[in-house]
Amino acid sequence: MEKSLVDLENGTTCSSWNYSGQRLAAGSADGFLSIFDARDSASSSFTRSSKSRVHDTGIVKVVWIPPEYGDAVACVCADGTLSLWEEVVEDAQPLQWKLCKSFKSNSSQVLDVQFGVSLSGLKMVAAYSDGHIRVYELLDPLELKNWQLQIRNNLIPPRHAFLPLSLLYDFRFVLMATCIKLLETTNASLCLFFMRCPFEVWEFDQAHQRWLPVAELALPGNKGDQVYSVAWAPNIGRPYEVIAVATHKAIALWHLGLIPDTDGRLSVEQVALLSGHAGEMWQMEWDMSGMTLATSGSDGKVRLWQSNLNGVWHEQAALEPTT
Protein backbone atom coordinates (compact mmCIF):
# COMPACT_ATOMS: atom_id res chain seq x y z
CA MET A 1 0.00 0.00 0.00
CA GLU A 2 1.37 3.39 -0.89
CA LYS A 3 1.87 6.04 1.73
CA SER A 4 2.38 9.73 1.09
CA LEU A 5 5.42 11.10 2.90
CA VAL A 6 6.14 14.63 1.71
CA ASP A 7 4.41 17.30 -0.31
CA LEU A 8 6.85 19.19 -2.48
CA GLU A 9 6.53 22.78 -3.56
CA ASN A 10 5.60 24.02 -6.96
CA GLY A 11 8.62 24.09 -9.22
CA THR A 12 10.51 21.23 -7.58
CA THR A 13 12.85 19.73 -10.13
CA CYS A 14 14.86 17.14 -8.26
CA SER A 15 15.01 15.34 -4.93
CA SER A 16 17.39 13.13 -3.06
CA TRP A 17 17.28 11.10 0.19
CA ASN A 18 20.20 10.94 2.57
CA TYR A 19 21.96 7.71 3.62
CA SER A 20 19.39 6.75 6.24
CA GLY A 21 16.27 7.88 4.42
CA GLN A 22 15.53 10.34 7.22
CA ARG A 23 16.19 13.54 5.29
CA LEU A 24 15.09 14.67 1.89
CA ALA A 25 16.76 17.41 -0.10
CA ALA A 26 14.79 18.97 -2.93
CA GLY A 27 15.92 21.50 -5.51
CA SER A 28 13.64 23.85 -7.39
CA ALA A 29 13.56 25.63 -10.72
CA ASP A 30 14.05 29.00 -9.01
CA GLY A 31 17.24 27.90 -7.27
CA PHE A 32 15.96 27.01 -3.79
CA LEU A 33 17.18 24.06 -1.77
CA SER A 34 14.62 22.63 0.68
CA ILE A 35 15.39 20.10 3.39
CA PHE A 36 12.69 17.86 4.87
CA ASP A 37 13.20 15.94 8.10
CA ALA A 38 11.42 13.10 9.86
CA ARG A 39 10.22 14.02 13.33
CA ASP A 40 11.83 10.90 14.79
CA SER A 41 13.38 7.72 13.51
CA ALA A 42 10.10 5.78 13.59
CA SER A 43 8.04 8.52 12.02
CA SER A 44 7.03 8.64 8.42
CA SER A 45 5.89 12.22 8.60
CA PHE A 46 8.30 14.75 7.17
CA THR A 47 8.35 18.49 7.56
CA ARG A 48 10.49 21.16 5.95
CA SER A 49 13.27 22.24 8.26
CA SER A 50 15.10 24.59 5.95
CA LYS A 51 14.81 26.50 2.70
CA SER A 52 17.67 28.47 1.25
CA ARG A 53 18.50 30.13 -2.04
CA VAL A 54 21.37 28.29 -3.65
CA HIS A 55 21.65 30.01 -6.99
CA ASP A 56 19.92 32.33 -9.42
CA THR A 57 19.22 29.55 -11.85
CA GLY A 58 17.39 26.31 -11.23
CA ILE A 59 18.85 23.28 -9.49
CA VAL A 60 18.99 20.23 -11.72
CA LYS A 61 20.52 17.70 -9.38
CA VAL A 62 21.03 17.27 -5.63
CA VAL A 63 23.49 14.72 -4.26
CA TRP A 64 24.13 13.97 -0.56
CA ILE A 65 27.72 13.82 0.60
CA PRO A 66 28.65 10.61 2.49
CA PRO A 67 27.57 10.97 6.15
CA GLU A 68 31.06 10.71 7.65
CA TYR A 69 31.63 14.16 6.18
CA GLY A 70 28.57 15.76 7.73
CA ASP A 71 25.09 16.63 6.58
CA ALA A 72 25.85 18.24 3.27
CA VAL A 73 24.63 18.27 -0.30
CA ALA A 74 26.07 19.13 -3.67
CA CYS A 75 23.80 21.08 -5.99
CA VAL A 76 24.29 21.05 -9.72
CA CYS A 77 22.62 24.10 -11.25
CA ALA A 78 21.23 24.68 -14.69
CA ASP A 79 24.02 27.07 -15.62
CA GLY A 80 26.62 24.44 -14.76
CA THR A 81 27.78 25.70 -11.38
CA LEU A 82 28.32 23.21 -8.62
CA SER A 83 27.95 24.27 -5.01
CA LEU A 84 28.37 22.40 -1.75
CA TRP A 85 26.04 23.24 1.13
CA GLU A 86 26.37 22.06 4.68
CA GLU A 87 24.22 22.10 7.79
CA VAL A 88 26.34 23.44 10.65
CA VAL A 89 26.28 25.32 13.91
CA GLU A 90 29.01 27.91 13.84
CA ASP A 91 30.06 29.89 16.90
CA ALA A 92 26.97 31.29 18.53
CA GLN A 93 24.79 31.11 15.43
CA PRO A 94 21.83 28.74 15.18
CA LEU A 95 21.80 25.64 12.99
CA GLN A 96 21.77 26.62 9.35
CA TRP A 97 22.68 25.58 5.84
CA LYS A 98 25.81 27.33 4.66
CA LEU A 99 27.67 27.46 1.40
CA CYS A 100 31.02 25.70 1.74
CA LYS A 101 32.34 25.78 -1.76
CA SER A 102 31.32 26.77 -5.22
CA PHE A 103 32.89 25.35 -8.35
CA LYS A 104 32.51 27.68 -11.25
CA SER A 105 34.06 27.71 -14.65
CA ASN A 106 33.58 30.12 -17.49
CA SER A 107 34.47 27.67 -20.17
CA SER A 108 32.57 24.56 -19.14
CA GLN A 109 29.60 23.45 -17.06
CA VAL A 110 29.28 20.76 -14.45
CA LEU A 111 26.79 18.17 -15.67
CA ASP A 112 26.91 15.50 -13.03
CA VAL A 113 28.63 14.81 -9.75
CA GLN A 114 29.21 11.77 -7.56
CA PHE A 115 30.96 11.15 -4.26
CA GLY A 116 32.95 8.19 -3.06
CA VAL A 117 34.86 7.37 0.11
CA SER A 118 38.27 5.84 -0.30
CA LEU A 119 40.92 5.02 2.29
CA SER A 120 42.59 8.34 1.68
CA GLY A 121 39.41 10.33 2.09
CA LEU A 122 36.45 11.77 0.26
CA LYS A 123 36.57 12.02 -3.49
CA MET A 124 34.29 13.91 -5.78
CA VAL A 125 33.99 13.10 -9.44
CA ALA A 126 32.47 15.76 -11.64
CA ALA A 127 31.60 15.51 -15.29
CA TYR A 128 32.02 18.69 -17.31
CA SER A 129 30.45 19.76 -20.53
CA ASP A 130 33.85 20.08 -22.18
CA GLY A 131 34.23 16.32 -21.95
CA HIS A 132 36.47 16.35 -18.93
CA ILE A 133 36.08 14.22 -15.88
CA ARG A 134 37.61 15.91 -12.87
CA VAL A 135 38.34 14.03 -9.67
CA TYR A 136 38.75 16.16 -6.56
CA GLU A 137 40.00 15.10 -3.17
CA LEU A 138 38.91 16.65 0.10
CA LEU A 139 41.94 17.91 2.03
CA ASP A 140 40.45 18.31 5.47
CA PRO A 141 37.88 15.75 6.65
CA LEU A 142 36.09 18.31 8.80
CA GLU A 143 35.91 21.14 6.28
CA LEU A 144 34.19 20.87 2.95
CA LYS A 145 35.92 24.02 1.71
CA ASN A 146 39.25 22.73 0.54
CA TRP A 147 39.38 20.46 -2.47
CA GLN A 148 42.34 19.47 -4.51
CA LEU A 149 42.09 18.50 -8.14
CA GLN A 150 43.44 14.98 -8.32
CA ILE A 151 42.99 14.19 -11.98
CA ARG A 152 41.55 15.77 -15.00
CA ASN A 153 40.78 13.28 -17.64
CA ASN A 154 40.18 14.52 -21.10
CA LEU A 155 37.83 12.09 -22.71
CA ILE A 156 36.83 13.72 -25.96
CA PRO A 157 36.81 17.38 -26.82
CA PRO A 158 33.26 17.82 -28.00
CA ARG A 159 31.04 20.80 -28.29
CA HIS A 160 28.29 19.30 -26.23
CA ALA A 161 28.47 16.44 -23.82
CA PHE A 162 26.26 14.54 -21.45
CA LEU A 163 27.95 12.41 -18.86
CA PRO A 164 26.15 10.16 -16.44
CA LEU A 165 28.46 8.97 -13.69
CA SER A 166 28.41 6.15 -11.23
CA LEU A 167 30.81 5.36 -8.46
CA LEU A 168 31.33 2.15 -6.62
CA TYR A 169 30.64 2.69 -2.95
CA ASP A 170 34.13 1.88 -1.79
CA PHE A 171 35.56 3.97 -4.55
CA ARG A 172 37.64 1.33 -6.10
CA PHE A 173 36.05 2.04 -9.41
CA VAL A 174 34.48 4.90 -11.19
CA LEU A 175 32.26 4.28 -14.14
CA MET A 176 31.97 6.98 -16.69
CA ALA A 177 29.68 6.98 -19.58
CA THR A 178 30.18 9.73 -21.99
CA CYS A 179 27.66 10.41 -24.57
CA ILE A 180 28.85 12.97 -26.97
CA LYS A 181 26.52 14.74 -29.27
CA LEU A 182 28.16 16.79 -31.95
CA LEU A 183 26.00 19.04 -33.94
CA GLU A 184 27.40 20.00 -37.28
CA THR A 185 25.50 22.32 -39.48
CA THR A 186 26.70 22.31 -43.03
CA ASN A 187 23.92 24.50 -44.26
CA ALA A 188 20.71 25.97 -43.00
CA SER A 189 18.54 23.09 -44.02
CA LEU A 190 20.71 20.14 -43.13
CA CYS A 191 21.62 19.04 -39.64
CA LEU A 192 23.80 16.06 -38.93
CA PHE A 193 23.75 14.41 -35.56
CA PHE A 194 26.72 12.41 -34.54
CA MET A 195 26.52 10.42 -31.38
CA ARG A 196 28.84 7.96 -29.76
CA CYS A 197 29.20 6.42 -26.36
CA PRO A 198 32.07 4.43 -25.07
CA PHE A 199 31.32 3.75 -21.42
CA GLU A 200 34.36 2.98 -19.46
CA VAL A 201 35.34 1.70 -16.06
CA TRP A 202 38.28 3.42 -14.42
CA GLU A 203 40.19 2.24 -11.41
CA PHE A 204 42.35 4.23 -9.07
CA ASP A 205 45.82 2.74 -8.93
CA GLN A 206 46.87 3.30 -5.32
CA ALA A 207 50.51 2.37 -5.93
CA HIS A 208 51.01 4.99 -8.63
CA GLN A 209 48.27 7.38 -7.53
CA ARG A 210 46.65 7.54 -10.91
CA TRP A 211 43.46 6.57 -12.66
CA LEU A 212 43.47 3.89 -15.32
CA PRO A 213 40.75 2.62 -17.63
CA VAL A 214 40.25 -1.09 -16.89
CA ALA A 215 37.20 -2.09 -18.89
CA GLU A 216 34.84 -0.90 -21.56
CA LEU A 217 31.18 -1.82 -21.42
CA ALA A 218 29.92 -1.92 -24.98
CA LEU A 219 29.16 -4.48 -27.58
CA PRO A 220 30.55 -3.71 -31.02
CA GLY A 221 27.08 -2.99 -32.35
CA ASN A 222 26.21 -0.55 -29.59
CA LYS A 223 29.08 1.89 -29.87
CA GLY A 224 26.89 4.60 -31.22
CA ASP A 225 24.17 4.36 -28.60
CA GLN A 226 23.10 7.21 -26.43
CA VAL A 227 23.52 6.51 -22.71
CA TYR A 228 20.84 7.81 -20.36
CA SER A 229 21.90 6.43 -17.06
CA VAL A 230 24.33 4.10 -15.32
CA ALA A 231 24.02 2.41 -11.93
CA TRP A 232 26.43 0.32 -9.96
CA ALA A 233 24.88 -2.44 -7.85
CA PRO A 234 25.99 -2.75 -4.25
CA ASN A 235 28.18 -5.80 -3.87
CA ILE A 236 27.59 -7.71 -0.67
CA GLY A 237 29.88 -10.58 -1.54
CA ARG A 238 29.58 -11.53 -5.18
CA PRO A 239 32.85 -12.36 -6.92
CA TYR A 240 31.89 -9.89 -9.65
CA GLU A 241 30.32 -6.44 -9.91
CA VAL A 242 26.96 -5.80 -11.54
CA ILE A 243 26.44 -2.62 -13.54
CA ALA A 244 23.33 -1.40 -15.30
CA VAL A 245 23.74 0.83 -18.34
CA ALA A 246 20.64 2.32 -19.92
CA THR A 247 20.81 3.37 -23.53
CA HIS A 248 18.05 4.57 -25.77
CA LYS A 249 17.54 0.97 -26.85
CA ALA A 250 17.45 -0.99 -23.59
CA ILE A 251 18.99 -1.56 -20.20
CA ALA A 252 22.12 -3.64 -20.42
CA LEU A 253 23.30 -5.49 -17.33
CA TRP A 254 26.99 -6.21 -17.14
CA HIS A 255 29.08 -8.45 -14.96
CA LEU A 256 32.52 -7.07 -14.29
CA GLY A 257 35.15 -9.52 -13.07
CA LEU A 258 37.33 -8.45 -10.19
CA ILE A 259 40.60 -10.14 -11.09
CA PRO A 260 42.60 -8.27 -13.71
CA ASP A 261 44.32 -10.09 -16.56
CA THR A 262 47.97 -9.57 -17.45
CA ASP A 263 47.20 -6.26 -19.16
CA GLY A 264 45.36 -5.06 -16.10
CA ARG A 265 41.99 -5.29 -17.84
CA LEU A 266 38.90 -6.73 -16.16
CA SER A 267 36.65 -9.23 -17.84
CA VAL A 268 33.19 -8.01 -18.80
CA GLU A 269 30.09 -9.88 -19.83
CA GLN A 270 26.72 -8.57 -20.83
CA VAL A 271 24.26 -10.78 -18.96
CA ALA A 272 20.97 -9.18 -19.86
CA LEU A 273 19.37 -6.75 -22.23
CA LEU A 274 16.09 -5.51 -20.84
CA SER A 275 13.59 -3.48 -22.74
CA GLY A 276 10.50 -2.03 -21.20
CA HIS A 277 10.56 1.72 -20.96
CA ALA A 278 9.52 3.30 -24.19
CA GLY A 279 11.41 6.54 -24.61
CA GLU A 280 13.99 8.08 -22.36
CA MET A 281 15.24 6.41 -19.21
CA TRP A 282 15.33 8.79 -16.27
CA GLN A 283 16.84 6.92 -13.41
CA MET A 284 18.06 3.55 -12.24
CA GLU A 285 18.48 2.54 -8.60
CA TRP A 286 19.67 -0.74 -7.11
CA ASP A 287 18.26 -1.94 -3.82
CA MET A 288 20.64 -2.54 -0.92
CA SER A 289 21.30 -6.18 -1.80
CA GLY A 290 21.82 -5.49 -5.48
CA MET A 291 19.13 -8.01 -6.35
CA THR A 292 16.40 -5.66 -7.56
CA LEU A 293 16.82 -2.82 -10.01
CA ALA A 294 14.23 -0.05 -10.02
CA THR A 295 14.00 2.17 -13.08
CA SER A 296 11.93 5.16 -14.07
CA GLY A 297 11.45 6.59 -17.50
CA SER A 298 9.57 9.00 -19.68
CA ASP A 299 6.78 6.45 -20.13
CA GLY A 300 5.81 7.53 -16.62
CA LYS A 301 6.26 4.13 -15.01
CA VAL A 302 8.52 2.67 -12.39
CA ARG A 303 9.70 -0.80 -13.29
CA LEU A 304 11.28 -3.41 -11.08
CA TRP A 305 13.70 -5.95 -12.50
CA GLN A 306 14.93 -9.16 -10.93
CA SER A 307 16.80 -12.24 -11.88
CA ASN A 308 15.47 -15.74 -11.38
CA LEU A 309 17.58 -18.55 -9.99
CA ASN A 310 18.94 -19.31 -13.44
CA GLY A 311 20.32 -15.81 -13.76
CA VAL A 312 17.65 -14.77 -16.25
CA TRP A 313 16.59 -11.16 -15.70
CA HIS A 314 13.01 -10.10 -16.20
CA GLU A 315 10.58 -7.38 -15.29
CA GLN A 316 9.05 -8.40 -11.99
CA ALA A 317 6.52 -5.61 -11.62
CA ALA A 318 5.65 -2.12 -12.76
CA LEU A 319 4.19 0.76 -10.82
CA GLU A 320 1.98 3.17 -12.68
CA PRO A 321 1.35 6.50 -10.97
CA THR A 322 -2.28 7.57 -10.99
CA THR A 323 -4.21 10.36 -9.37
Partner 1 sequence: MPVVAPFSGDTRGVSDSSSNGSIVPFSPEAPNHSAVYALRHGLKPPIARLSISWSRGNTLRVSVLRQPSDDGEAGGRVVEVNLSNGDAEISDAQWRRIAYGSVTPFALLQSRRSSVSSLSKMSISPSHYHVDWWEYVMEYSKDIVSLLGHRKSPSGTVIEDPREIVKTVEEPTSLKAAWDLMEIFYADKQSQPWLPERLVDWLTDYDCLLSSTQTTVHSKLVGFQKELVSLQVIEDYPKYWEVISSALAIGWLELVVKMLRLHGSYELDQLGNRETENGLVEAVAVLISKMPRMRLELAEGKAGECFMAKPDFMKAWEKWRAQISKLDSSAYWVECDHLQTREGLKNMLQIMLGNTNSLSAATCHWVELYISHLLYIRPFTVGLESMNSLAQKCMQLKPMSSTHRLIELMVGILGENTEVVLAECSRAFGPWMVAHATELMTAGSDQAEVLLHEERDNLGEMSIAELHRLVYAQVLASHVLTWQIAPVYLISCMKQGMGLLELLLCKQPVQHNETLLKNIEICRLYDLDSVSSNIMKVAGVYHWKHGRKGAGVFWLQQARDEVRLNRIAKYLFDSVGKSISDESFKQWEGLIELLGSESKTAGGLDFLHKYRDFKKSLKQVQVGKTTDASRQAAESLISLMKNPSTPQQFWLPLLYDSLKLLNWQERPLLSVSQTNLLLNKLQELSMAKLRPDFIEVDLPPQALSSVRLALATNLGRAILEE
Residues 12-51 touching partner 1, rule: CB under 8 A, are: 12-17, 19-22, 24, 26, 28-29, 40-42, 44, 46
Residue 49 burial (CB count, 10 A): 14
Shortest gap between Cβ of 210 and partner 1 (angstroms)? 21
How many residues bind to partner 1 according to rule CB under 8 A?
A: 85
Residue among 122 and 163 whose Cβ is closer to partner 1: 122
For residue 260, count other CB atoms closer than 10 A to its CB.
14
Distance CA 166, CA 256 (A): 14
- Phi-psi map region of 170: left, alpha, beta (phi>0 left; psi -120 to 50 alpha): alpha
Separation CA 191–CA 183 (nearest Å): 7
| Residues 24, 33: Cα–Cα separation, whole Å | 10
Beta strands in 227-267 (DSSP E): 227-232, 240-247, 251-257
Residues from 146 through 205 that contact partner 1 (CB under 8 A) = none
Rg (CA), the chain: 20
Closest distance to partner 1 from the beta carbon of 156 (Å): 28
Residue number, 42 or 188, with CB nearest to partner 1: 42
Site for partner 1 in 88-117 (CB under 8 A): 88-89, 95
- CB atoms near residue 193 (< 10 Å): 9
Please say which residue, 161 or 231, places its beta carbon nearer to partner 1. 231
- The one segment of 156-164, 206-214, 237-245, 260-268 that binds partner 1 by CB under 8 A: 237-245
222 by DSSP, 3-state: which?
helix
Compute the least distance from the CB of residue 125 to partner 1, in Å: 20
Q: Are 141 and 157 contacting, i.e. CB atoms less than 8 angstroms apart?
A: no
Strands 32-38 vs 46-53: parallel, antiparallel or unpaired: antiparallel
Among positions 281-320, residues that touch partner 1 (CB under 8 A) are 282-283, 285-289, 291-292, 294-296, 300-304, 306-320
Choosing from 47, 53, 67, 145, the residue that interacts with partner 1 (CB under 8 A) is 67
Interface with partner 1 (CB under 8 A), residue from 52, 153, 234, 257: 234
Selected from 49, 50, 87, 108, the binder of partner 1 by CB under 8 A is: 87
Answer for which of 77, 140, 175, 275 binds partner 1 (CB under 8 A) is 140
